[in-house]
Amino acid sequence: MVRRTKSSGGSAGALQGALLAKDAGRRDALKRLSKSSAAKPRPRNDLLPRLRLVERDPASLSTPTRNVRKSDPAHVREVANSITALGFTIPVLIDDAGAIVDGAIRVAAAKELGLSSIPCVVADHLTLSERKLLRLAVNRLQEKGGWDLHELRLEVEELILDEAPIEVSGFESFEIDAILTDLSLGAVEEGPLAPAADARSVARLGDVFVLGPHRVICGDARDKATLSRLMAGDRARFIFTDQPYNVRIAGHVTSGDHREFSMASGEMTDTQFREFNKGWIEASVEHLCEGGVLGTFIDWRGLGSVTAAAEDVGVSQLNLIVWAKTNAGMGSLYRSQHELLPLFKKGVAPHKNNIDLGRKGRWRSNLWTFPGASTVGSDAQRGLQHHPTVKPVAMLEEALRDLTDRGEIVLDPFLGSGSTLIAAEKTGRICLGIEIDPLYVDVILRRFASVIGRQAVLEETGEAFSAVEERRACETIEGREPLNAPALADKT
């Protein structure tokens, strides 16, 4: 006979306790399973019901008595645009009485387009409660899950390269901008230096160069004929430029060996500078759409002159942007660490607003903090090799996203080294630019080819820039035509 010891009794008790706990856990699991099974709908016998595809007049279909999803005319128009581009490819789900189960917006769009017949799928195998459940499910379940932004960006980029009408996808312009925005600093530009004082130009006054959708003309921003030739009847949404400040470059703007500007480089009196500003603003605003915005960088010395000239022309001030640089530049009493960007609006029509107080996914203020040309590694410093007052391309890109949509025109009357052109190309806008100095036109075209990888074409002959350069070099060798930049007319 085995005598039970205290220890063996303890082991038996521990085992019994473990078994009881296991049984309790099993019973709890069964309860949970029972509750889960009760909550889940029993699978239908007809998981693949025979559905009928029919054609119906959209006017004969009835909308649900209780619309749980709101709609607005803008949404209906977007769907109508999509149908126009891609066809009516998603049938409307209806019951046997012609009541809409899913697709009320598509039906409204079909009515707006004047369609007399649209494809419908008849779901006559569902009860009234099941139809209500299905209506909720198709509206709610499609909202589940997030976007893979990397894959979405690749998809959008491919569609844009294919020149597909991306706007019919339902994404708005500011959303496409956000999807495509590259948060990296970008590659360092490796391009030509700013032209030397004794350099010879390829471009000549009056030349128009085409760079895909963009155009650059060598001419005077105050000359209305030059503007008309460049714009060719189109209107800009945004005039965005970095005008000359009427300050000498040497010793005031940069300590580097940069060529002085062709005009307004410190030689004008205050009166002459105001007339200069009035001239180019007036000529440019003629080609600005109603509600369009004009913005020009300027320093504290020239702000009053620009504002007065804009008032003379009749555009109203919209805001004043301050570009706060991370490092200070040249200066005497105080070293300069900011530049100003007054914004003006034409007419009374509303201006483009892709910020909308942050409701469109962008938080912006009138203080823009971007590194200037004195900051090591900034894209403005890299651009300093091209131009003495270059602006960060990333800053210009943000401004274009704020005030324009993709495909709209940005006019730059003082294109300089072409930073606005680069920003427009990167954001899907169209840049129409003017530069009076043929040597800087050369810089613009070479820089665009270096950064973007496309050569400019001379509009008059259809020649690539490299071919124009070779031909005009031969003309010089033969003594028929010099390449030096021609004397610029003094229109002050």
pLDDT digits (tens, 9 = 90+) for 409-427: 999 999 999 999 999 999 9
Q: How far apart are CA 430 and CA 215, in angstroms?
A: 8
User: Residue 342 is encoded by which pair of tokens?
Assistant: 């007054």
Residues 315 and 405 in one domain: yes
CATH number for the domain harbouring residue 126: 3.90.1530.10
Q: Is residue 152 part of a domain?
A: no
Residues 429 and 302 in one domain: yes
Q: Is residue 327 part of a domain?
A: yes
Q: How far apart are CA 450 and CA 458, in angstroms?
A: 18
Residues 329 and 458 in one domain: yes
Q: Is residue 273 part of a domain?
A: yes
The segment with the largest mean pLDDT, out of 196-200, 291-295, 473-477, is 291-295
Long-range contacts of 105-108 (CB under 8 A, 24+ apart): 105/71, 105/75, 105/76, 105/79, 106/79, 107/58, 107/61, 107/63, 108/71, 108/76, 108/79
User: Does the pLDDT value for residue 196 go beyond 80?
Assistant: no
Residues 353 and 298 in one domain: yes
Residue 262: the pLDDT is 60
Q: Is residue 466 part of a domain?
A: yes
Q: Is residue 35 part of a domain?
A: no
Given 122, 140, 158, the domain boundary residue is 140
Residues 67 and 203 in one domain: no
CATH number for the domain harbouring residue 469: 3.40.50.150
Q: Which domain holds residue 366?
A: 181-477
Nearest to 427 by CA among 157, 185, 241: 157
Given 107, 140, 173, the domain boundary residue is 140
Give residue 24's pLDDT band: very low, low, confident or very high (50, 70, 90). confident
Which positions ≥6 away from 7 have C-beta within 8 Å?
none
Q: Is residue 192 part of a domain?
A: yes
Region 452-461: mean pLDDT is 96
Residues 429 and 296 in one domain: yes
Residues 131 and 194 in one domain: no
Q: What is the pLDDT of residues 74-83, one digit of tens each?
A: 999 999 999 9
Contact in structure between 446 and 193 (CB atoms under 8 Å): no
Residue 383: the pLDDT is 45
Residues 119 and 202 in one domain: no
Residues 115 and 186 in one domain: no
pTM of the model: 0.75
Q: What is the pLDDT of residues 219-278, one digit of tens each?
A: 999 999 999 999 999 999 999 999 999 876 554 444 455 555 566 556 788 899 999 999
Residues 209 and 133 in one domain: no
Residues 205 and 108 in one domain: no
Dihedral angle, C-alpha 329, 386, 483, 467, nearest 10 °: -170
Q: Is residue 253 part of a domain?
A: yes
Summary mean pLDDT of the chain = 85
Tally of structural domains, the chain: 2
DSSP 374-418: TSTT-HHHHHTTT-TT---HHHHHHHHHHH--TT-EEEESS-TTS
Q: Is residue 429 part of a domain?
A: yes
Which has the minimum average pLDDT: 134-143, 369-378, 478-487?
478-487
Q: Residue 333: enclosing H or E segment and its boundaries? A: none
**What region does 237 belong to: left with phi over 0, alpha with psi -120 to 50, or beta?**
alpha
Give residue 66's pLDDT band: very low, low, confident or very high (50, 70, 90). confident
Given 73, 107, 140, the domain boundary residue is 140
User: Residue 69 is encoded by which pair of tokens?
Assistant: 């999803």
CB atoms within 10 A of CB 387: 27
Residues 125 and 211 in one domain: no
User: Does the pLDDT value for residue 492 go beyond 90?
Assistant: no
Q: What is the pLDDT of residues 100-154, one digit of tens each?
A: 999 999 999 999 999 999 999 999 889 999 999 999 999 899 888 888 999 999 9
348 CB burial (10 A radius; 0-12, 13-18, 19+): exposed
Distances (CA, A) of 168 to 49, 80, 237, 430: 33, 9, 22, 20
